[in-house]
Amino acid sequence: MLLPSHVWHLSDQTKAGPTTVILAGTHGDELGGIDTVRQLLKRLGLLNKPSGTFHVKGVNGNLYLGFGNPEAILRNTRSASDGLNLNRSFSINELAKDPSVQDREDLKRARELAPLLQQTDFLFDLHCTSTPSEPFICFGDKTAKRQELCGLIPVKYVITDPDRKYTRLEGLSELATTDEYVHINGGAGLCYETGWSKDISHTENVIFIVLKLLKHVGTINEILAEQLCSLREIAYPNEQHVYAIEDVIEAKYDGFEYAPGIGQGWTNLSKGQLIGYYPNQEPEFSPLTAIGVFPSAPERVIKGKKLIVLAKLTN
C-alpha cells in the first residue's frame, strides 16, 4: 500500500497490534481536530518532517496520524472542490468507477485514502461543528464495538443514522463517510465532533481522549501516552444518550437567522416551534418534537441543502 500524502506512519516494527488511524481536517476548516493532530506530531518530533514511516517506541501494530483533506486545510474551506465534500466521497459505487481527470479534488483524495481505510481496524476521525456546540459522537449504525469506544469519550450525546437520512439531500443511499467506509470493510470507525470549529482551547482534553482510545485498542502503551499528554484524568458525564436521525429539514432559501438558542445544536424542539427566518422573513417551523443537531451556520445555509437535523432519543 502506498502511504497517502500528509499521513505519518508510526510503528515499533517488532510489536504486533491493530492498524489504527487518527484523521483530522477531513473538512479543512475544522480547526480543533487539526490542532490536535499537529500537537501530537509536534510532541513526537514529526511535525516538520515529511510524512513517511517512523519508528516510535511504545507503538503496537501500525498507527497512522494525518490530515484528511490537505488542500481544503490550505484553503481553510470545508472541501477542496465543488460538489460532495470528502466526507461524502467514500461511496462504494463512486470509488468503483474508473478514475478520471475530471474527478473533483475531494474524490481524488478519497481514492488516495481508501486503500489505508480498507485495512484499518480502528478509525477516529476528529471533526468540529460549524456553530457552537458541545462535543458529541456520530456514526451510522450502533454496534457493540462502537458502543464500547463511545464509553471512553466524555460526551453526553451520540447520534446515529440507521436509515441514512442525513445524506438524502446529497442523492446518496450510503453515508459515504470515512468512518462508515472503515465499518463496511470490517473495522470500527467513528466521528468525534470535538466542539466548535473555531475553538481550539480544548486541544489538550482531546489529546487525552485520543490517547485513551489508543491505549484501549492496544495501539500505544502507557509510557508513550504519558510522554504525549500532561493530563492524567478528565471529567466524564454520568451517562450517554443515543439519538437516531429522524428528519433533515431542507433549506428553502440561501441564508438564515435562527431563533434565540436554536443555532447552538442539541436544542429541544417542539412540533410547530419556530426555528428561525430566511432573509425574506419567511419562517421555518419544526415538523416534529425532536432535538435539533447539526444546524448549518447561517451564512452557510444554501437552498436545497441541510438547514438542521432532527433526532430522537433511542435509549
134, 135, 139, 143 alpha-carbon torsion, rounded to 10°: -110
- What confidence score (pLDDT) does residue 16 get? 85
Query: Can you give the pLDDT at residue 168?
Result: 83
CB 170 within 8 A of CB 84: yes
User: pLDDT value at position 264?
Assistant: 86
Instruction: Please give the pLDDT value at position 119.
Output: 97
Burial of residue 13 (number of CB atoms within 10 Å: 0-12, 13-18, 19+): exposed
pLDDT at position 198: 84
pLDDT of residue 153: 97
Rounded Cα distance between 248 and 271, Å, is 14
Phi, psi values for residue 243, rounded to 5°? -115, 155
Supply the pLDDT for residue 247. 96
Give the pLDDT score at 171: 85
Residue-level pLDDT at 192: 98
Looking at residue 68, its pLDDT comes to 98
Ranges of residues in the chain with a pLDDT under 50 are none
Terminal alpha carbon distance of the chain: 41
Q: Which residue has the cell 436545497?
A: 304
Predicted confidence at residue 299, as pLDDT, reads: 93
At residue 167, the pLDDT reads 87
- Per-residue pLDDT, 265: 85
Alpha carbons 106 and 114: distance in angstroms, whole number: 12
As given in the structure block, the three cell numbers for residue 300 are 452557510
Q: Which three cell numbers stand for residue 244?
A: 437516531
- The full set of domains in the chain, from first to last, is 7-228 (3.40.630.10), 245-313 (2.40.50)
Total-model pTM? 0.94
Beta bridge partners of 244: 160, 312
- pLDDT recorded at residue 14: 74
Q: Where are the alpha helices (DSSP H) in 76-201?
A: 92-96, 105-118, 144-150, 178-184
